[in-house]
């Protein structure tokens, strides 16, 4: 199969795997759109915000600043801190792609570095083809944007309990990503369980429970990912056929 055929195959595979993410995004973004409408944003403004920033925590943080009357600088700094974890995810993805990948592909891939698409991309076997991530983003991003638009259009019509219940889909989306990977690899399953336990402890220990959720994710990612890389290095095949440890 030639390069164009391979790219098309990876694109379609990404679209297929991105469908459950798109459905989960729609439900969560619908609730976000309702929150945006309640602070005075229009449906188009909520949709534009979602299209430009695929980050639920970052958008909720920005909405909180807007609702509190904060300025642009405060909103930018708050959003930057909450979204810092995406820098770590991008560093991890840089080890997954081919070293000769062109810069334009790296820029396009960076747009779709979200928690769920990152998990999907990292679980792909072998080197990551950028068109796989394009395919996932091609279906997931419109789902996120449409959810925010329709949620803002609905406004405060839906009861609070209904809008809160929609966010449960996010947890199901995470389970759909980590369970198959955990079944294939016991080390991955152990790391996931360790992450869950450590995340719970961070919300209970008096010294660190005051950290924001975004900062907690950064701390956990650095410590657990670093420890896993040191204890369980992954062997990959180099281009020349020799095995290297990364």
Highest mean pLDDT among 48-52, 56-60, 219-223, 236-240: 48-52
**For residue 173, pLDDT beyond 60:** no
pLDDT of residue 237: 47
Number of domains in the chain: 2
Residues 151 and 203 in one domain: no
pTM above 0.85, yes or no: no
Residues 24 and 144 in one domain: yes
Percentage of the chain modeled with pLDDT above 90: 14
Residues 82 and 194 in one domain: no
Q: What is the pLDDT of residues 177-203, one digit of tens each?
A: 678 777 888 888 888 888 889 888 888
Last residue of a domain, one of 135, 161, 177: 177
Domain range holding 239? Answer: 185-246
Residues 163 and 189 in one domain: no
Residues 164 and 57 in one domain: yes
**For residue 160, pLDDT beyond 50:** yes
Residues 215 and 94 in one domain: no
Last residue of a domain, one of 117, 144, 177: 177
Tell me the average pLDDT of the chain. Answer: 80
The better pLDDT of the pair 218, 204 is held by: 204
Residues 28 and 69 in one domain: yes
Last residue of a domain, one of 145, 177, 209: 177
Q: What is the pLDDT of residues 69-125, one digit of tens each?
A: 878 887 887 788 778 788 888 888 888 888 888 888 888 888 888 888 888 888 887
Residues 86 and 12 in one domain: yes
Which residues contact residue 63 at a Cβ distance below 8 angstroms, ignoring those fewer than 6 apart? 32, 35, 36, 39
Residues 207 and 157 in one domain: no
Residues 150 and 197 in one domain: no
Residues 166 and 236 in one domain: no
pLDDT of residue 145: 94
Q: What is the pLDDT of residues 213-240, one digit of tens each?
A: 656 766 777 788 778 878 887 565 444 4
Angstrom distance (rounded) from CA 170 to CA 31: 12
| Residue 141 CB coordination number (10 Å) | 21
Residues 210 and 119 in one domain: no
């Amino acid at each position: 199969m030639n390069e164009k055929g391979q790219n098309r195959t990876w694109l379609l595979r990404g679209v297929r795997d991105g469908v459950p993410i798109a459905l989960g995004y729609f439900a969560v973004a619908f609730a976000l759109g309702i929150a945006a409408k309640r602070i005075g944003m229009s449906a188009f403004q909520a949709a534009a915000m979602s299209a430009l920033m695929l980050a639920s925590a970052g958008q909720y943080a920005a909405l909180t600043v807007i609702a509190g009357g904060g300025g642009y600088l405060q909103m930018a700094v708050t959003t930057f801190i909450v979204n810092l974890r995406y820098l770590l995810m991008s560093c991890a993805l840089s080890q997954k792609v081919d070293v000769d990948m062109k810069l334009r592909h790296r820029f396009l891939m960076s747009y779709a570095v979200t928690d769920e698409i990152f998990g999907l991309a990292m679980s792909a076997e072998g080197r990551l083809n950028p068109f796989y991530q394009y395919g996932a983003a091609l279906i997931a991003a419109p789902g996120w944007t449409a959810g925010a638009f329709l949620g803002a259009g609905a406004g405060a019509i839906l009861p609070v309990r209904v809008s809160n219940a929609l966010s449960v889909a996010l947890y199901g989306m995470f389970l759909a990503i980590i369970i198959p990977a955990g079944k294939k690899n016991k080390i991955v399953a152990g790391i996931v369980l360790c992450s869950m336990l450590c995340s719970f402890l961070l919300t209970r220990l008096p010294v660190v429970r005051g950290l924001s959720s975004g900062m907690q994710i950064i701390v956990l990612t650095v410590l657990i990912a670093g420890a896993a890389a040191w204890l369980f290095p992954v062997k990959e095949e180099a281009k020349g056929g020799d095995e290297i440890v990364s």
